[in-house]
Structure 1
Amino acid sequence: MAMSSLVPFRDINIHASSTHYAFTSPSSPSAQTLVVDRPSGDIRLNDGALLGAKRVSSIAGILGTIKLRLDKYIIVITKAQPMGRIKGHMVYKVIATEFLPLRERALHDPDEDTYLHLLKTLIKSGPMYFSYSFDITNSFQRQAQSDPSLPLWKRADDRFFWNRFIQSDLIAFANGTGLRNQGGHQHGADPFILPVMFGMMRITLTRIKATPVNFVLITRRSRHRVGTRYFTRGIDDQGHVANFNETEQIVILNDGAGGLGGFAGGEQQNGRATEHHDVQVMSYVQTRGSVPVYWAEVNTLKYTPSLQVRGVETAVDAAKRHFDEQIKIYGDNFLVNLVNQRGREDQVKKAYEQMVRILVSSPGEATQADYVTNEQIHIVEASSRRQEYDRLHYVYFDFHNETKGLQWHRAQILLNQLLGDLEKGQYFRGVDMPADAQGRMEVRNQQSAVVRTNCMDCLDRTNVVQTMLARWVLTKQLQDVGALRPGESADDDTTFQDLFRNIWADNADVVSKSYSGTGALKTDFTRTGERTRAGMVQDLNNSITRYVKNNFGDGPRQDAFDLFLGTYLPSTDSIGSNRIFMDQRPPLIQAIPYALAASVFLVLVASLARPQPDGTAWPLRFFSLLWLGVGGWCMHFIYNHGMLYVNWPKLNTPRWANEGYQEVLGSVRKDKLLGPLVTRHERGMSNSRLGHMEEGKKRIQ
């Protein structure tokens, strides 16, 4: 296979006509032209350019194709921003896209317009990255084990191939499995398939003391069980957990493409130190993900949602699927759990521990206490290795109590507990083989274990712990290659220390915004090494913003994820009815927030109004008291029937949300005063608002 067909085209021109779109690469004139027929969407390859088409523009790549209610659209990347080089390979961030309709004459439907708005908002706000020549979906260790003779998209990690669903038409055509293409693999289509990763990417040329390094941090968000904070928790039947992210910290020495000088790293071999100037890559991988049992937090407009945890036994098969994959990919899993051991979170803690006891054989347990708490550290792991699940090692750390009172340094207690396992689990280290035409590396060391960290959201507490582990591993790596002497630390270089902290804090913010809608909490500690009053004020602001977004803004965000990732397929039924996104609650229920807003406005006006000198004050006071009463009743109603006012996802509405909504609406119908009014004006009765839930729904992986 030609080398040019293994990687995506760096430049693509679009030629449009009334019958097709044609995609060509001007830098590869001998390559075939990809043709998408209009309006059918059929894909074919053509030898040479097609006549009669007008060149529209140049693009950075094809993000994919998606079918909505009325039309199918080709999503193309029109602008990409260079982010830096990894071993000479440039990485780009998606900045702007365009939707190309297959129908020549645009048709309009309210739901179609909403679908397009959701997708465009997601793509614009979501940090997506790609490279034409480097597989950013795989860690360096997995890249070293992959087959370089395969096209780049076939080497991509399916979990982090974010546009995998919308590339499915092209992939089916390339594989020869499309409806109109049964002729075997179409190699000419491979360069048009561009894998895109969703997450965080920072590439920084810097120095640690006297050593020039290329410091890279990559966080890859899984495309499975993606969603927003309160609408996507726990595990699904396929073994995918919410908010699963893989974070890889990479240090590259002697990277000539970075423009910095080389480093002669010392390596102990046969008792003597040797020096070399080859490119060395050291990487360390951590993961985070929701507690792998069936659980949910139900929005009711109260600041703290109600927590539901199903029986652990029902989730055993799903947890086995999850950990089968985790052990196969990462080896031993150290399950660091940071949830609170008191209050509502204790249910989740106990469920996790019960799951581990079920999975491992002959579970042994140990508890470490101190003056702060009776359960500072709690460990559950197999007494002896008999099966693969015995590679699970559960470590609970009472993060909340141990760090209470701004004593964040006490997180070191957890690091001390993990030190022996971190030493044993190691990290990846590879050295370039200059004579290898395919750019493969000689593997000197491999990471054989991973720390999988979680708290309730897998955000704020998790960020603090992951940063701490990454700092320790970085120091060990630099000591191992001789860049630091024994006893020295990467933190000794204050300039790099500030850089390191800010990159990890930026990572925390990106992961948090994707899941909760705001930046992370506690990032002042990550950025400065100490808790500050300004940081606490920022945390308060983020917490309030999270509350507002999670209750009133996350429904559309969840819908956008479901559309883009293919967990919801739009139906062509009832086109033009605007049935899916229309608010179908009873008019009285819809009117109450407006009545509350009106009462606040009128009371404010009355309080600012001045009575006439010769007039009496009681009418104005009566007016104010009347609207205060109306406003108070409206607030009381909304508070007690909060599920009616949460902005739920309209496409894949959670089952528990539908049940809770119907239960609350049923209680309103039974109200002696409001019940007759609600029932009389209700649209469609009990299934009015969420009855469309099954319409067009289809889950695929």
Structure 2
Amino acid sequence: MAPTLLPFRDINLHASSSHYAFTSPSSPNAPTLIVDRPTGDLRLNDGTLSGAKRISSIAGILGIIKLKLDKYIIVITKALPVGRLRGQMVYKVAGTEFLPLRERPLHDYDEDAYLALLKELLRTGPMYFSYGLDLTNSFQRQSQSDATLPMWKRADDRFFWNRFIQSDLIDFSLGGHDTTSVRYGPQPGVDPYILPVMYGMLRITPAKVKSTTFTFALITRRSRHRAGTRYFSRGIDEQGHVSNYNETEQVVILNDATGGLSGFAGGQSMKEKSGGSGQDLQVMAYVQTRGSVPVYWAEVNNLKYTPKLQVRGVEIAVDAARKHFSEQVRLYGENYLVNLVNQKGREERVKNAYEQLVRTLVSPSTETTEVDAVSPEKVHVLEASQRQREMDHLHYIYFDFHSETKGLQWHRAELLMDRLVDGLSRGGYFRGVEDPSLPGGQLDIRASQSSVVRTNCMDCLDRTNVVQSMLGRWAVTRQLTDAGILRPGEAANDDRDFEDLFRNIWADNADVVSKSYSGTGALKTDFTRTGQRTRAGMLQDLNNSVTRYVKNNLLDGPRQDGFDVFLGTYLPPDSTLGNFQLFIDRRPLIIQSIPYILAAGIFMILVSTFTRRLPDAAVWPLRLFIVFWLVISAWCARFILAHGMLYVSLMRLVRWPFHLANHITS
């Protein structure tokens, strides 16, 4: 592969009062990228400019972002290697730095708040990149892409997490004009400075089944569209993007000598299918997705443990849902929509809306319902009776997860597999063989995955991950059987060491996805890790639930604002020092003071209760003092609970979507 098509592995940063300069010492013939100060104009130069002093070596340029008063270049100062895939090292972003374009940075309250939001997001957000492998794309999409294009042009727009803050570099590459309106043509020399980064979970580890070693990896890519926190991002938007959308790819790599693992010749069946290429590096990958129920619905924080649920009419979401599923069918083929929400209680309205939506989208459908003594709707399948249009590739399967698994009988979740196994077998998985004759290190495609399972519960976290791990276990068993490692009838989980590794990686995946969305680790990971639902795990779930309540109500506003600024959902307006401050608390002083009065009252009551009194001291003044503060504290607590919307941490930057307006104002 031509080296200029891949991002630079090493970049030196030079700085002066008039510009920043970026060079690659390993590519001395490559042009220098110049960022003029304070305008932010970009240009390429042969050799570094005089007067610039080298100040550091960086792992890459994350992007350039404009805030209220200044532009900042965000550079990756520290990257941790996490493993190799097909010989290419993968890194986690471990440190970043903001380079202001003004020589003397200006500060005001809002500018500092923007920077704090972004730094916290970068500190806590798990972001990964590779110089030689496009992590935003599955192995199947990588093999179908044009290897002659730069990596950023091949990246999947959904998972190119830093796409917005790379806009200046991308626009410069494509051609345009600078701040002086001077036009310029395409600048392909900047392409190696554009580094796509994915946000999500990535684990790479050596594994062994029946004495055969291979590389096992799990990659979860979080979509940058409609990204946000648990209660501020629900359902679908007008563009067809759904909340908490993640693509998870489970990867098995055989004969991975680059990873220091011993080779594997493959079974007879695999040799026959691959044309005698049993010793070649082989990649087998299985992809599944998760995402919020694609209708307009919301739960708005108001300090109650279970916020009031609002579901708008399904008819207004049909066009948005059609956009969503049209993309899903185009990308993945047949879509098996596994719905795990409860069929009773507050979640019933979401379930009914989803089913009504599918009935509207597909051609005249057939529906089957399985019942038993435990559940009036154990399994509900809805799909088109015949293929007439694009939406007929949707297959809806409802599974009464809670009823089937109550009483710690979590093994009964396997009943869902009976309804999916035929579709899973037809859809298959991706298999590619490394062929040195192909350009750009692409894989020779031997089999493609032609369907996907899209799983959801209310949050698309806990129940969803349990089911996805079951599907992953089915996939790895089939892959290893096809490879000749397992005999028909054997299962990958028969090997206890591999089963432990498998369970822990999927539990780690649950925690990472959950922390990104809800602020805490996932629930029910004791079952994912051990295969059993334990009381210790239930206590941990209680702790996580309480922590979620606190974070979702009192801390998620700034988290949502951080996502919105980084991803370009919110664009800070041009401003000057001293203008209107967005982040100033403008509630009346009495409203702001009530929580402090409550805290003072509780403190006074505790001090009065536990302070030692003299034997001859009168009791009634102290009792009167305690009663006074009890009354004050009770009134404050009652006021706060009755006016919860005044005290939850709300996002400040982006207006509430139209489908929430009625709920917020009511």
Give the distance between the partners of 2:277 and 2:448, measured in 1 at CA.
21
List per-residue Cα deviations over 1:60-114 (Å, max 9, x = no partner): 0000000001100000000000111100001000000000000001111111001
Q: CA deviation at 1:613?
A: 2.5
Percent of aligned pairs sharing the same letter: 66
Say whether the 8 Å CA contact 1:267–1:275 is kept in structure 2.
no
Q: CA deviation at 1:660?
A: 5.8
Where does residue 150 of structure 2 map in the other structure?
151
Q: Residues 178 and 82 (structure 1 numbering): CA distance in 2 closer, same or farther, change over 3 Å?
A: farther
SS at match of 2:386: coil
What letter matches 1:68 in structure 2? L
Where does residue 257 of structure 2 map in the other structure?
256
Say whether the 8 Å CA contact 1:169–1:178 is kept in structure 2.
no
Say whether the 8 Å CA contact 2:79–2:95 is kept in structure 1.
yes
Q: Please tell me the root mean square deviation across aligned C-alpha atoms, in Å.
A: 1.5
Give the distance between the partners of 2:142 and 2:405, measured in 1 at CA.
38
Matched, 1:175 2:189: no
Say whether the 8 Å CA contact 1:109–1:578 is kept in structure 2.
no
Where does residue 91 of structure 1 map in the other structure?
90
Where does residue 114 of structure 2 map in the other structure?
115
What letter matches 1:513 in structure 2? K
Q: CA deviation at 1:486?
A: 1.0
Q: Residues 303 and 245 (structure 1 numbering): CA distance in 2 closer, same or farther, change over 3 Å?
A: same
Where does residue 233 of structure 2 map in the other structure?
232
SS at match of 1:438: helix
Say whether the 8 Å CA contact 1:267–1:480 is kept in structure 2.
no
Q: CA deviation at 1:576?
A: 2.4
Give the distance between the partners of 1:296 and 1:557, measured in 2 at CA.
18
Where does residue 624 of structure 1 map in the other structure?
626
Give the distance between the partners of 2:655 and 2:209, measured in 1 at CA.
50
What letter matches 2:623 in structure 1? R
1:290 to 289, 292, 317: 292
Give the distance between the partners of 2:480 and 2:259, measured in 1 at CA.
19
Where does residue 41 of structure 2 map in the other structure?
42
Where does residue 222 of structure 2 map in the other structure?
221
Give the distance between the partners of 1:223 and 1:49, measured in 2 at CA.
35
Where does residue 194 of structure 1 map in the other structure?
195
What letter matches 1:157 in structure 2? D
List per-residue Cα deviations over 1:553-599 (Å, max 9, x = no partner): 00000000000000001113463256211111111111111111011
What letter matches 1:23 in structure 2? F
Give the distance between the partners of 1:270 and 1:259, measured in 2 at CA.
27
Q: CA deviation at 1:276?
A: 1.8
SS at match of 2:207: strand
Q: CA deviation at 1:183?
A: 3.5
Give the distance between the partners of 1:270 and 1:568, measured in 2 at CA.
55
Q: Residues 205 and 113 (structure 1 numbering): CA distance in 2 closer, same or farther, change over 3 Å?
A: same
Give the distance between the partners of 1:615 and 1:533, measured in 2 at CA.
49
Q: CA deviation at 1:435?
A: 2.9
Give the distance between the partners of 2:150 and 2:268, measured in 1 at CA.
35
Say whether the 8 Å CA contact 1:110–1:578 is kept in structure 2.
no
Where does residue 543 of structure 1 map in the other structure?
545
Q: Residues 393 and 437 (structure 1 numbering): CA distance in 2 closer, same or farther, change over 3 Å?
A: closer
Matched, 1:377 2:376: no
What letter matches 1:213 in structure 2? F
Where does residue 350 of structure 1 map in the other structure?
352
Q: CA deviation at 1:365?
A: 0.7
Where does residue 596 of structure 1 map in the other structure?
598
Where does residue 614 of structure 1 map in the other structure?
616
Say whether the 8 Å CA contact 1:65–1:74 is kept in structure 2.
yes
State which drifts further: 569-578 or 107-116: 569-578
1:488 to 487, 490, 494: 490
Q: Residues 528 and 95 (structure 1 numbering): CA distance in 2 closer, same or farther, change over 3 Å?
A: same
Say whether the 8 Å CA contact 2:233–2:243 is kept in structure 1.
yes
Q: CA deviation at 1:267?
A: 4.2
Q: CA deviation at 1:228?
A: 0.1
Where does residue 506 of structure 2 map in the other structure?
504
Q: CA deviation at 1:207?
A: 1.1
SS at match of 2:232: coil
Write the mapping of 1:378-527 to structure 2, written as runs, cut at 5 A.
378-527=380-529
Q: CA deviation at 1:181?
A: 6.3
SS at match of 2:184: coil
Q: TM-score, normalised by structure 2?
A: 0.97
Give the distance between the partners of 1:234 and 1:95, measured in 2 at CA.
32
Say whether the 8 Å CA contact 1:239–1:321 is kept in structure 2.
yes
Say whether the 8 Å CA contact 1:299–1:646 is kept in structure 2.
yes
Q: CA deviation at 1:274?
A: 5.3
Q: CA deviation at 1:371?
A: 2.0
Where does residue 26 of structure 2 map in the other structure?
27
Q: CA deviation at 1:273?
A: 9.8
SS at match of 2:267: strand
Q: Which runs of 5+ in 1 are unaligned?
A: 664-701
Q: Which runs of 5+ in 2 are unaligned?
A: none
State which drifts further: 17-26 or 567-576: 567-576
Give the distance between the partners of 2:589 and 2:45, measured in 1 at CA.
57
| Count of residues paired in the alignment | 662
Give the distance between the partners of 1:241 and 1:320, measured in 2 at CA.
12
Give the distance between the partners of 1:170 and 1:474, measured in 2 at CA.
40
List per-residue Cα deviations over 1:44-68 (Å, max 9, x = no partner): 0011221111111110000000000
Where does residue 129 of structure 1 map in the other structure?
128
Give the distance between the partners of 1:505 and 1:650, measured in 2 at CA.
34
What letter matches 2:91 in structure 1? Y
List per-residue Cα deviations over 1:451-482 (Å, max 9, x = no partner): 00000000000000000010011101100110
Q: Residues 270 and 72 (structure 1 numbering): CA distance in 2 closer, same or farther, change over 3 Å?
A: closer
SS at match of 1:500: helix
